[in-house]
Amino acid sequence: MSIDNKATENKTEGVKVEISKEALETQEKPLKEKTAEELAALIKEKEEEARAHYDRMLRLAAELENYKKRAEREKAEHIKYANESFARELLSILDNLERAVEHAKNDDTDKQALLDGVEMVLREFMNAMEKSGLKAVDAYGQVFDPQYHEAVMVEENDSVEDNTILNELQKGYIFKDRLLRPAMVVVSRRPASSAPEGVS
Separation of alpha carbons 171 and 139, rounded Å: 8
Lowest mean pLDDT among 52-56, 64-68, 83-87, 164-168: 83-87
Pick the most confident of 32-41, 57-66, 74-83, 121-130.
57-66
Q: How many residues does the chain have?
A: 200
Give the 3-state secondary structure of residue 51.
helix
- Checking if the pLDDT of 24 tops 60, the result is no
Give the pLDDT band (50/70/90) at residue 31.
low
Neighbours of 191 (CB within 10 A): 9
| pLDDT (average), residues 31-44 | 81
Lowest mean pLDDT among 31-40, 45-54, 121-130: 31-40
DSSP 8-state class, residue 172: -
- For the chain, what is the mean pLDDT? 81
Transcribe 20-41 into DSSP letters.
Answer: -HHHHHHSPPPGGGS-HHHHHH
Q: How far is CA 13 from the centre of its chain?
A: 52
Give the pLDDT band (50/70/90) at residue 1.
very low
Reported pTM: 0.55
Give the pLDDT band (50/70/90) at residue 192.
confident
- Checking if the pLDDT of 40 tops 70, the result is yes
Between 48 and 36, the more confident residue is: 48
Chain segment 108-164, per-residue pLDDT in tens:
767 888 888 889 899 999 988 888 889 999 889 899 999 999 999 898 888 888 889
pLDDT score of 57: 95
**Positive/negative CA dihedral, 47, 48, 53, 54:** positive
Separation of alpha carbons 45 and 37, rounded Å: 12
